[in-house]
Amino acid sequence: MKVSVRVPATTANIGPGFDTLGMALPLYNTVTIEETVLPGTGIEINVFSDSDSIDQLSLDHVPTDENSIVYKAVELLYNSIGQSPSELKITIKSNIPVARGLGSSSSVIVGALIAANELLGRPADEVALLTIASEIEGHPDNITPAIVGGLVISSQEDDGSVIYRKLNWPADWKITVCVPDFELSTGIARSVLPKEVPMRDAIFNAQRMAMFVEAVNSKDAELMKLALHDKLHQPYRMKLVPGLDSIMNELKHFDNVLGVVLSGAGSSILVISEKNDLDKIHNVVKETWANQNIKCNIKTLSVENEGAQIISNED
């Protein structure tokens, strides 16, 4: 049996929603799991890309042994029903940039889980899949939209379960994803965060998160301009993304730009705007990063409202 699952990229935090907000985007990884017939061959993991925008060197550093998060995802699912995985060939077609804050790790975790679940006859429901995936990833902000699609508020509870609700992102608000040619691992990006934050900063983000939800629900662009500010993670991570402060300062003068935020932990950034002046936005980002000798790939996208999909199931 052979199962292929297509999983969207995701962006998390989106300004004030640290470890809470996540959104699916129309860039995709595909994970295929195939039962092999030769006993004792164990699990084989292969990673490749057919996209020119994916750095092969990044893929070469993706673990393909038992340290792989893909292997851990499959193992946890099998263990949850009292089995151990064996004789599986796992192939990852990677078209989501690695270590750029676009949920590449979440996508392969989710793809592997859903494919393995299909092979096993679907013993795990959505609740179980969310729980297992979030246990591996450590937080649900990328995992949840990868599974269910759209813009999602999520929380991982003390028992490991995930509570989520989807919001309807206004169709007129575009997301320009700016991907620089350098990686930024989540581990490094988290290492610069303080263990404690001032109460005033926590209150600030609670206020902005409330504004964010209302701005989305009411399609209030002026409120969203206020909502897309953060004091919990972006101020500490600014120094890890050269030119980010300059991009923010220049684009805040564009009436149609609602805000500039880090995508997840970075290094990618998002420019959220109404439809006009997209070329000018692209030029500001390209020129700013060019001055830092940074090449980039820029795409303006809509939200992907569908989560992971089984695209092939062969007996």
Mean pLDDT of 73-98: 90
**Any idea where the domains of the chain sit in the sequence?**
2-168+303-314, 174-301
SS3 107: helix
Asked if residues 163 and 157 have their Cβ atoms less than 8 Å apart, the reply is yes
Which CATH number does the domain 2-168+303-314 belong to among 3.50.50.60, 3.30.230.10, 3.40.50.880, 3.40.50.620? 3.30.230.10
Write down the pLDDT at residue 39. 63
Structure tokens at 126: 């959505």
Average pLDDT, the chain: 91
Q: What percent of the chain is predicted at pLDDT more than 90?
A: 76
Write down the pLDDT at residue 185. 84
Write down the pLDDT at residue 92. 92
For residue 10, pLDDT over 70 is answered with yes
Within 13 Å, how many C-alpha atoms sit on residue 211's CB side?
19
Q: Which residue has the tokens 């164990």?
A: 42
For residue 51, pLDDT over 80 is answered with no
Write down the pLDDT at residue 87. 83
Q: Are strands 296-301 and 151-156 parallel, antiparallel or unpaired?
A: unpaired
Write down the pLDDT at residue 46. 86
Angle at 97 between CA 228 and CA 118, to 5 degrees: 100
Write down the pLDDT at residue 123. 95
Write down the pLDDT at residue 224. 98
Render pLDDT for 153-168 as a digit per residue (tens, 0 to 9): 999 999 999 999 999 9
Mean pLDDT of 230-240: 94
Query: How is the chain split among helix, strand and coil, in percent rounded to 5?
Result: 35, 25, 35
Which CATH number does the domain 174-301 belong to among 1.20.120.420, 3.30.70.890, 3.40.50.300, 3.30.70.980? 3.30.70.890
| String of DSSP letters for 165-189 | EEE---TT-EEEEEEESS---HHHH
Write down the pLDDT at residue 48. 85
